[in-house]
């Protein structure tokens, strides 16, 4: 099995700090650049699972890079360069403290809430009589708070503005960008025989300018259905064939884990880890239409550090 990166602890010239997220290790260089190492860690239910997934970081980083390039005419983004398959270097932005989630279909978290009897989500009313995986009349925006630790929480537009998490003018612009990005992602997915079901976007600011930051349209931030046979499966109340991280959540739930107190993460066998890696690679090839080229992981930490250092010296 190829080596997976689950932890980094680099020291670069001008390094102000080093932030470790659920999946990404972010290095602040002189409050001007962010070096984002996309690790092979995998999280579900806001818990980082004990084993890394080989090539997952490369998959996420390269998909995000492609979609940042494909959407820069809609909103400027933070990306400057990708000096390594697992690394993006970009502008240092002050992030907004909300994540913009947009949903085209009633699935995942939204379905679990709906099934429990809730008919509003983040202040958005949901129609009666919907089925799992049914398309909404139009996409709905269901933001969440951006928790540094623990669980992100659903929040409404009104609460965001009232509590000054984001000012009204900026929030209105975030919603516009979110809808335009989702529309572009939907068009690209459609050409590849996929349906972009739901996704999340994160934004930040440099001065007064809003930038798209972090990842975009990856299997960690998005859910895709296969278009072929979708309507027939829906009509027959069958499970939709999908490419996303939901299969990991389903495996955890089947094994009695939902991130709740006292619950133990089930054992991740080598076979399971390999299957997750293969699913990530499958999504890369499906969404980009390109063959995934595995990077050399003989000494992956040294490779990543060397590539970042050489870029920063330039």
User: Given this model, what pLDDT does residue 152 score?
Assistant: 80
Q: How far apart, in whole angstroms, are the C-alpha atoms of residue 10 and residue 302? A: 10
Q: Can you tell me the mean pLDDT for 82-94?
A: 97
pLDDT of 1: 44
Q: pLDDT tens digits, residue range 153-166?
A: 999 999 999 999 99
pLDDT score, position 149: 56
Reported as a single tens digit per residue, the pLDDT across 175-204 is 999 999 999 999 999 999 999 999 999 999
Q: Annotate 251-292 with DSSP letters as a single string.
A: HHHHTT-SS-TT--PPP--HHHHHHHHHHHHHHHHHHH-S--
Q: Looking at 43-47, 51-55, 58-62, 294-298, which range is the least confident one?
A: 43-47
Domains and CATH numbers, the chain: 95-247 (3.30.470.20)
Contact 1, 270 (CB under 8 A): yes
**Residue 150's pLDDT is what?**
58
**Is pLDDT of 19 > 50?**
yes
Q: At what angle do helices 270-288 and 56-71 cross, to 10 degrees?
A: 20
Asked whether residue 2 carries a pLDDT value surpassing 80, the answer given is no
Query: Which of 50, 43, 49, 55 shows the shortest CA–CA distance to 5?
Result: 55
Separation between Cα atoms, residue 149 and residue 299, nearest integer Å: 31
Task: List Cβ neighbours of 181 (8 Å cut-off, separation of 6 or more).
Answer: 71, 74, 75, 201, 212, 216
């Amino acid at each position: 099995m190829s080596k997976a990166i689950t932890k980094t602890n680099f020291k670069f010239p001008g390094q102000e700090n080093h932030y470790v997220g659920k999946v990404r290790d972010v290095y602040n260089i002189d409050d001007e650049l962010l070096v984002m190492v996309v690790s092979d860690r995998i999280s579900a239910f806001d818990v980082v699972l004990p084993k890394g997934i080989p090539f997952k970081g490369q998959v996420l980083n390269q998909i995000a890079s492609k979609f940042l390039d494909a959407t820069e005419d809609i909103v400027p983004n933070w990306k400057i360069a990708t000096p390594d398959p697992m690394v993006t270097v970009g502008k240092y932005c002050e992030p907004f403290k909300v994540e913009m989630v947009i949903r085209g279909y009633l699935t995942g978290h939204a379905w679990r809430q709906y099934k429990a009897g809730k008919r509003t989500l983040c202040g958005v009313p949901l129609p009666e009589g919907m089925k799992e995986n049914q398309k909404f009349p139009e996409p709905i925006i269901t933001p969440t708070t951006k928790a540094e630790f623990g669980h992100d929480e659903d929040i409404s537009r009104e609460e965001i503005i009232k509590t000054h998490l984001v000012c009204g003018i900026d929030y209105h612009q975030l919603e516009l960008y979110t809808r335009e990005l989702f529309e572009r992602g939907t068009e690209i997915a459609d050409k590849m025989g996929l349906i972009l079901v739901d996704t999340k976007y994160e934004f930040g600011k440099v001065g007064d300018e809003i930038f798209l930051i972090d990842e975009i349209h990856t299997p960690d931030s998005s859910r895709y259905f296969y278009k072929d046979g979708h309507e027939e499966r829906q009509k027959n109340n069958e499970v939709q064939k999908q490419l996303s991280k939901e299969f990991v959540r389903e495996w955890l739930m089947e094994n009695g884990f939902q991130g709740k107190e006292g619950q133990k993460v089930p054992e991740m066998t080598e076979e399971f880890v390999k299957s997750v890696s293969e699913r990530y690679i499958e999504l890369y090839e499906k969404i980009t239409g390109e063959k995934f080229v595995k990077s050399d992981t003989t000494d992956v930490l040294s490779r990543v550090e060397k590539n970042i250092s050489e870029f920063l010296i330039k």
